[in-house]
């Protein structure tokens, strides 16, 4: 297996669920507003050697195979309820797939790094203010505050750390019933570079703290499976 290959943080099988020919997909570049019709799936939502060693890439590929199978069974069940294929194992795998996909994206790595960098630099500033015998104390503090000093970023570590907790975290959403939403409109479901969306309509007006914890009351997890089918995990009461 070639080194420095592209590692997809949104897998190719998932792209194919939204593709007409299995190889291309229409894209919208959000920052520029540019529309790119018929863009090749290969290379989208990917980064060179994101998952590190070849062994880890192979392990993730095996997981993706089981996730893809569970998603196919869910789509089949949504549109063929008389031929139900969503076993308990399938539902459990879908829960894992949603959390795994949530945690593996560069978007999540960006958020994690921002929080870690902010915390680490605040701790370092406290050290600079209180430790004895530090030359140019105020100069260093000013450099931190104006952004001249930053932490070195390792995307592989930022992605793999939350992924390592995915399977333990699955138990935290076992109380959320699984729903399948069928799209009968002319407008297809879309997805972005972070396809799994966490939302909380119950606490939507709360801004003083986070409301997307996996055991926060009112949590909703949206996971589009293809252009016509959505997986939703939420309390239906």
* Tens-digit pLDDT profile for residues 144-164: 999 999 988 888 888 888 888
d(CA 120, CA 198): 27
pLDDT level of residue 2 (50, 70, 90 thresholds): very low
Instruction: Work out the number of other CB atoms within 10 angstroms of the CB of residue 147.
Output: 8
Least trusted range by pLDDT, from 29-33, 77-81, 85-89, 192-196 = 29-33
∠ at Cα 146 (145, 152), nearest 5°? 80
Q: What is the mean pLDDT of the chain?
A: 91
The tokens for 122 are 């605040």
**pLDDT value of position 3:** 46
* Tens-digit pLDDT profile for residues 159-212: 888 888 888 899 999 999 999 999 999 999 999 999 999 999 989 899 888 899
d(CA 144, CA 139): 9
């Amino acid at each position: 297996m070639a080194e420095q290959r592209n590692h997809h943080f949104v897998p190719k099988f998932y792209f194919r669920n939204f593709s007409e020919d299995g190889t291309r997909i229409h894209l919208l570049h959000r920052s520029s507003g540019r529309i790119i019709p018929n863009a090749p799936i290969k290379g989208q939502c990917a980064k060179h050697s994101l998952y590190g060693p070849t062994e880890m890439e192979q392990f993730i590929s095996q997981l993706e195979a089981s996730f893809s199978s569970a998603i196919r069974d869910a789509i089949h069940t949504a549109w063929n309820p008389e031929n139900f294929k969503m076993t308990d194992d399938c539902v459990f795998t879908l829960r894992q797939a949603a959390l795994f996909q949530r945690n593996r994206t560069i978007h999540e790595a960006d958020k994690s790094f921002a929080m870690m960098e902010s915390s680490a630099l605040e701790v370092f500033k406290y050290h600079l203010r209180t430790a004895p015998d530090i030359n140019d104390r105020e100069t260093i503090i000013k450099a931190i505050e104006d952004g001249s000093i930053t932490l070195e970023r390792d995307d592989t570590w930022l992605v793999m750390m939350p992924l390592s907790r995915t399977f333990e975290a699955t138990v935290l959403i076992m109380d959320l019933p699984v729903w399948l939403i069928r799209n009968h409109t002319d407008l297809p479901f879309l997805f972005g570079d972070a396809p799994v969306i966490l939302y909380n309509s119950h606490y939507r007006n709360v801004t003083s703290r986070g409301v997307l914890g996996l055991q926060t009351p009112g949590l909703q997890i949206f996971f589009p499976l293809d252009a016509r089918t959505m997986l939703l995990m939420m309390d239906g009461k």
